[in-house]
């Protein structure tokens, strides 16, 4: 692969990052680091979505101007990604001029496409979703997810002829030109399309804190279209043709399963309308619950990934989220579960291995070992697992090696062998150090900090007893 353009959703700044947004972003980071490591010209984009009523309302609640509020919240996201060791190449904000200018161009192109028309829309708008919601979806008159009453909207809008795109999208999905993963999500999209696509509104009548529609001053751009276009604006659409040509189309949009219709139906149709290539692949992962319950502010179970990182370390958070749930499936997380894995697999597993081995090497070999990288010529399928989005499996493969190493130390009673048979001890210590080197190499995209620490420890000219990688938590 020559280039690899990967994106995360751009998150709404109505609230600070939580474990769900961190999850998508960490997974994207693993892939970006992996392909970068393979030599692909990788561009990894993250960012924040800052327009719309949802943000205007949150800003009002906080007693702040929307833009001031958005600035503060967006900074929390970029800081959180720094703390979680996310290697994004850029961070796009929809309030930036480079984005708003590109969106203007995009809408002019749409207008010229002949695929839009003026009409009247009547419907129920859920601000939490930033989307229209069907009456049949309501529970006791409320949006079942946001527990709020949708706004009754009857207004003049501009429409996009999405209804014309069902056949071509189906063809592209079936031929593999447009890949949707996992299979279940692909089937969901195909079945949604087969029920017949309806045209969608692309503007609203003066929604709060939204971009103006270039040709109609009484209309504002529907936030979702503004947001989707970030994937193009960030790589220079209309401003830096060379960069845009180099990276577009996106190789992979990573999203949660909640937003697949936007990414797998509306987005490619819009791109086709303006004559641009469509993304190559969308992968939609599952949703987390916390202690079996939906994550919600009302329930007060929102987990702050930065708090976890401060308490347990960045790589513990990365390890836990990637290991606990198979990517693509729904799963449950909790601090209890994190602790169990922390103690068992990180502190007593990998951490213990590194401290024992380095202590023994310092004691019996004056800190000298020979690492032979040819003993482990390949990564035993860990790389292939990453390429196939099976991060939990990659970690499980690596941890089999960790276990093998710890078992080798125990079964050979290395702490005694050092006194009784130094030749055999040295041979095993070399082998174990080589295994640890291999473990650290394979861990690079998954747990970059730990990988770097181990490589530094194990390749030092004189190995000394290492500080615990995963200290005991009180
Ligand atoms: N602004 C839109 C995305 C626009 S992309 C062009 C948006 N933002 S959001 O802040 O609501 O983020 C939604 C995303 O957050 C989901 O697609 C998913 O990636 C992540 N998650 C939010 N809650 C989650 C869980 N409970 N579990 C896992 N991921 C979750 O939608």
DSSP 225-267: HHHHTHHHHTTTTTT-HHHHHHHPSPSEEEEEGGGHHIIIIIH
Residue 374: the pLDDT is 85
CB atoms within 10 A of CB 46: 28
Question: Is residue 356 very low, low, confident or very high in pLDDT (cuts 50, 70, 90)?
Answer: very high
Q: Is 298's pLDDT higher than 80?
A: no
DSSP-assigned beta bridge partners for residue 213: 216
Q: Is 453's pLDDT higher than 90?
A: yes
Residue 331: the pLDDT is 96
pLDDT tens readout for residues 100-119: 999 999 999 999 999 999 99
* Beta carbons within 8 Å of 272's beta carbon, 6+ residues apart: 165, 168, 278
Residue 28: the pLDDT is 98
* Rounded Cα gap, residues 90 and 70, in angstroms: 18
In 3D space, the residue among 87, 277, 11 whose CA is nearest the CA of residue 19 turns out to be 11
Strand extents, DSSP E, 1-150: 3-7, 11-12, 41-49, 90-93, 116-126, 131-133
Residue 208: the pLDDT is 86
Question: Is residue 379 very low, low, confident or very high in pLDDT (cuts 50, 70, 90)?
Answer: confident
Residue with tokens 């979680």: 84
For residues 297 and 434, which has the higher predicted lDDT (pLDDT)? 434
**How many angstroms separate the Cα of 105 from the Cα of each of 43, 82, 217?**
23, 32, 16
Question: How far, rounded to the nearest angstrom, does the alpha carbon of residue 105 sit from its chain's CA centroid?
Answer: 28
Ligand 1 pocket residue status of 226, Cβ below 6 Å:
no
Query: Strand order in 203-205's β-sheet?
Result: 203-205, 216-221, 212-213
- Percent of the chain residues topping a pLDDT of 70: 100
Q: Is 413's pLDDT higher than 80?
A: yes
Q: Hey, whose CA ends up nearest to atom 24 of ligand 1?
A: 20
Residue 291: the pLDDT is 86
Radius of gyration of the chain (CA): 25
* Beta carbons within 8 Å of 215's beta carbon, 6+ residues apart: 107, 108, 111
Three-class SS state of 461: coil
Give the mean pLDDT of 409-436. Answer: 97
Q: Pocket of ligand 1, candidates 15, 18, 24: which has the most ligand atoms within 8 Å of its Cβ, to mutate?
A: 24
Residues 292/313, Cβ–Cβ less than 8 Å: no
Q: Is 9's pLDDT higher than 80?
A: yes
Q: How far is the CA of 43 from the centre of ligand 1 (A)?
A: 21
DSSP tally for the chain: helices H, then strands E? 20, 17
Q: Is 299's pLDDT higher than 90?
A: no
Residues 49/230, Cβ–Cβ less than 8 Å: yes
Residue 474: the pLDDT is 77
Q: Pocket of ligand 1, candidates 8, 18, 185, 258: which has the most ligand atoms within 8 Å of its Cβ, to mutate?
A: 258
Give the mean pLDDT of 189-201. Answer: 97
Q: Is 416's pLDDT higher than 80?
A: yes
pLDDT tens readout for residues 253-270: 999 999 999 999 999 999
Q: Hey, whose CA ends up nearest to atom 13 of ligand 1?
A: 11
Residue 153: the pLDDT is 87
* Rounded Cα gap, residues 204 and 157, in angstroms: 6
Residue 378: the pLDDT is 79
Ligand 1 atom closest to residue 259's alpha carbon, by position in its atom list: 17
Residue 293: the pLDDT is 86
Ligand 1 pocket residue status of 192, Cβ below 6 Å:
no
Question: Is residue 297 very low, low, confident or very high in pLDDT (cuts 50, 70, 90)?
Answer: confident
Q: How far is the CA of 285 from the centre of ligand 1 (A)?
A: 10
DSSP 158-225: EEE-GGGGHHHHHHHHHHTSSEEESHHHHHHHHHHHHT-PPPEE-EEES-TT-PEETTEEEEEE-HHH
Q: Pocket of ligand 1, candidates 15, 21, 333: which has the most ligand atoms within 8 Å of its Cβ, to mutate?
A: 21
Residue 232: the pLDDT is 98
Residue 120: the pLDDT is 92
* Rounded Cα gap, residues 422 and 417, in angstroms: 7
Ligand 1 atom closest to residue 14's alpha carbon, by position in its atom list: 10
Ligand 1 pocket residue status of 10, Cβ below 6 Å:
yes
* Rounded Cα gap, residues 233 and 247, in angstroms: 12
Ligand 1 atom closest to residue 294's alpha carbon, by position in its atom list: 26
Ligand 1 pocket residue status of 287, Cβ below 6 Å:
yes
Ligand 1 pocket residue status of 130, Cβ below 6 Å:
no
Ligand 1 pocket residue status of 58, Cβ below 6 Å:
no
Q: Hey, whose CA ends up nearest to atom 19 of ligand 1?
A: 256
Average the pLDDT over each of 130-139, 239-248, 360-369, 407-416 and give the range with the smallest value.
Answer: 130-139
Q: Pocket of ligand 1, candidates 95, 256, 293: which has the most ligand atoms within 8 Å of its Cβ, to mutate?
A: 256
- Percent of the chain residues topping a pLDDT of 90: 88
How does the average pLDDT of the chain come out, rounded?
95
Q: Pocket of ligand 1, candidates 6, 7, 23: which has the most ligand atoms within 8 Å of its Cβ, to mutate?
A: 23
Question: Is residue 292 very low, low, confident or very high in pLDDT (cuts 50, 70, 90)?
Answer: confident
Q: Hey, whose CA ends up nearest to atom 15 of ligand 1?
A: 21
Residue with tokens 């309308």: 273
CB atoms within 10 A of CB 235: 24
pLDDT tens readout for residues 82-103: 999 999 999 999 999 999 999 9
What b-and-e string marks burial along 331-364, b requiring 16 or more CB atoms within 10 Å of the CB? bebbbeebeebbeebbbebbbbbbbbbbbbbbeb
Q: Is 242's pLDDT higher than 90?
A: yes
Q: Hey, whose CA ends up nearest to atom 16 of ligand 1?
A: 256
* Rounded Cα gap, residues 253 and 3, in angstroms: 14
Give the mean pLDDT of 157-165. Answer: 97
* Rounded Cα gap, residues 160 and 388, in angstroms: 35
Q: How far is the CA of 21 from the centre of ligand 1 (A)?
A: 6
Q: Determine the angle formed by the axes of helices 53-61 and 66-83, rounding to 10 degrees.
A: 100
- The residue length of the chain stands at 474
Residue 450: the pLDDT is 98
Ligand 1 pocket residue status of 4, Cβ below 6 Å:
no
Residue 344: the pLDDT is 97
Give the mean pLDDT of 60-83. Answer: 97
Q: How far is the CA of 63 from the centre of ligand 1 (A)?
A: 25
Q: Hey, whose CA ends up nearest to atom 29 of ligand 1?
A: 20
Q: How far is the CA of 279 from the centre of ligand 1 (A)?
A: 19
Q: Is 386's pLDDT higher than 90?
A: yes
Question: Is residue 380 very low, low, confident or very high in pLDDT (cuts 50, 70, 90)?
Answer: confident
Q: How far is the CA of 332 from the centre of ligand 1 (A)?
A: 16
Q: What is the pTM of this model?
A: 0.96
* Rounded Cα gap, residues 322 and 394, in angstroms: 9
Residues 328/285, Cβ–Cβ less than 8 Å: yes
């Amino acid at each position: 692969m020559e280039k690899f353009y990967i994106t995360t959703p751009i998150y709404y700044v109505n609230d600070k990052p939580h474990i769900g947004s961190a999850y998508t972003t960490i997974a994207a980071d693993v892939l970006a680091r992996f392909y970068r490591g393979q030599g692909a010209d990788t561009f990894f984009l993250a960012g924040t979505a800052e327009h719309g009523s949802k943000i205007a309302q949150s800003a009002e609640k906080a007693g702040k101007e929307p833009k001031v509020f958005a600035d503060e919240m967006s900074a929390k996201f970029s800081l959180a990604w720094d703390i979680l060791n996310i290697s994004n190449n850029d961070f796009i904000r929809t309030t930036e001029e480079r984005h708003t200018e590109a969106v203007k161009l995009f809408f002019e192109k749409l207008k010229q496409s002949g695929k839009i028309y003026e009409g009247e829309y009547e419907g129920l708008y859920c601000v939490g979703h930033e989307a229209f919601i069907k009456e049949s979806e309501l529970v006791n008159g409320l949006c079942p997810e946001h527990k709020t009453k949708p706004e009754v909207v009857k207004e003049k809008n501009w429409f996009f002829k999405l209804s014309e795109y069902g056949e071509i999208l189906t063809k592209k999905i079936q031929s593999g030109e447009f890949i949707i993963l996992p299979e279940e999500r692909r089937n969901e999209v195909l079945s949604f399309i087969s029920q017949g696509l309806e045209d969608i509104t692309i503007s609203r009548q003066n929604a709060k804190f939204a971009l103006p529609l270039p040709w109609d001053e009484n209309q504002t751009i529907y936030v979702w279209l503004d947001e989707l276009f970030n994937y193009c604006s960030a790589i220079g659409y209309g401003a830096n043709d060379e960069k845009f040509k180099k990276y577009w189309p996106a190789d992979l949009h990573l999203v949660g399963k909640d937003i697949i219709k936007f990414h797998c139906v509306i987005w490619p149709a819009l791109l086709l309308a303006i004559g641009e290539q469509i993304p190559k692949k969308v992968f939609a992962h599952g949703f987390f619950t916390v202690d079996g319950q939906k994550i919600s502010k009302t329930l007060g179970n929102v987990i702050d990934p930065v708090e976890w990182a401060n308490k347990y370390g960045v790589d513990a958070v990365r390890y836990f989220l990637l290991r606990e749930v198979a990517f693509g499936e729904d799963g449950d997380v909790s601090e209890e579960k994190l602790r169990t894995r922390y103690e068992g697999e990180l502190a007593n597993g990998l951490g213990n291995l590194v401290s024992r081995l380095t202590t023994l090497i310092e004691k019996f070999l004056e800190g000298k070992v020979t690492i032979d990288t040819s003993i482990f010529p390949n990564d035993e399928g860990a790389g292939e697992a990453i390429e196939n989005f099976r991060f939990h499996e990659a970690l499980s493969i690596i941890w089999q090696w960790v276990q093998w190493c710890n078992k080798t130390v125990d079964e050979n009673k290395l702490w005694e062998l050092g006194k009784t048979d130094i030749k055999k001890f040295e041979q095993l210590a070399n082998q174990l150090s080589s295994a640890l080197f291999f473990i650290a190499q394979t861990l690079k995209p998954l747990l970059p900090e730990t990988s770097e620490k181990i490589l530094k420890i194990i390749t030092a000219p004189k190995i000394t007893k290492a500080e615990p990688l995963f200290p005991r938590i009180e």
